[in-house]
Amino acid sequence: MSKRVLITGASSGLGLSHAIYLSSKGYSVTGTSRRGGDLNLDQLRSIFLRDHTKFKYVDKSKNDIRAQKTLLPEKILQNLDEYLSRVHFVKMDVTDDKSVTQCIQEVETVDKIDILVNNAGNGFFGPVEELTIKQAKYQFEVNFFGLLRVLQAVIPNMRTRKSGQIINTASLAGIACIPFQAHYSAAKAAILRLTESLRLELRPFNIHVSSLSPGDINTMFDANTAILHNPNITFKSDDILKMKEAIPLEQDSPYYSQGQITWNTIIQNLIVAPPPLVISKKIEKIIKSKKPKVHYRAGPRLQTMGVPLIKRLLPENLSTRIVAMFYGL
């Protein structure tokens, strides 16, 4: 009998990729989203294909980009509709206690959850001085407390069965913080420490706990960040010029010049980053590991190897300078 995997935030980006890839590998996959079963499968297919397209800049200013080819394996490309149809989507809002509890109870009624992939997340953009306390709280509500709600709903059944696996999605931003995304970085850093403590607490109950920290991955994350600030935006992340113009900062902000450089750098890097399938394959490796480690990293090799080395080996002033240079500051 195949193992049941529950993936939060499965309607786009990494979560959608995990759902389709694990479905292709024979796992029984349940994916959560705020819209639940009302999702349009054609739209999900389009999102998945876009995220796994190789893009290339055609001008030196990096304002114009063109799709080159698909990065999907032939098997997944040919059977995509079948794999997507196997995913069972359910409604869950990770910021709502009742929604999380009800969703987990309904899923467990049908089949036990063997593996939890905590993936739901988002990110605001702006200086610490100017982002509101409300925005900061919402950032933690989704990325940290949302993850915590799902953990508290899933763990009791795993503990009773004395079996299970939990993979919490953190980020390299939790190791080397991103300028103008301080709250996102802080929430991801909190997930790393939470994972370490939880791993110790659940060890006697045969529940494996790990974190996975992706680097830059080509998803709609930046476009969704812009939408967080302006819900009327409808463009995609490969609309580079429109993305740059949608910087979530007022021009009279004292941080505008620095913020614009960082925003442009983030946008330009993400669209040519590796596809989500890189992270999904890492998820499967963690699941199949007999002795999962506490922390994993995946993404561009320069980032996954360089960031921890820089933070561990170099003086803080120097490592901070390198991070600043990476973001053009």
Q: Tell me the C-alpha distance between 286 and 166, whole Å.
A: 10
At 111 the three-state DSSP class reads coil
Q: Tell me the C-alpha distance between 307 and 324, whole Å.
A: 13
Q: Tell me the C-alpha distance between 187 and 120, whole Å.
A: 12
Q: Tell me the C-alpha distance between 277 and 13, whole Å.
A: 10
Q: Which residues of 167-182 are buried (b: 16+ CB within 10 A; e: fewer)?
A: bbbbbbbbbbbbbbbb
Residue 230 backbone zone (phi > 0: left; psi -120 to 50: alpha; other: beta): beta
Residue 323 backbone zone (phi > 0: left; psi -120 to 50: alpha; other: beta): alpha
At 312 the three-state DSSP class reads helix
The size of the chain, in residues, is: 329
Q: Are 268 and 222 in contact (CB under 8 A)?
A: no
Query: Could you tell me the two tokens for 247?
Result: 């910087």
From the CA atom positions of the chain, what is the Rg in Å? 19
Could you say which DSSP state residue 144 is in?
Answer: I
Q: Tell me the C-alpha distance between 179 and 220, whole Å.
A: 19
Q: Are 90 and 36 in contact (CB under 8 A)?
A: yes
How far from the centroid of its chain's Cα atoms is residue 54's Cα? 19
Could you say which DSSP state residue 130 is in?
Answer: T
Residue 296 annotated as catalytic: no
Query: Could you tell me the two tokens for 171?
Result: 């980020």
Which of the following is catalytic: 21, 27, 83, 184?
184
Active site residues: 184
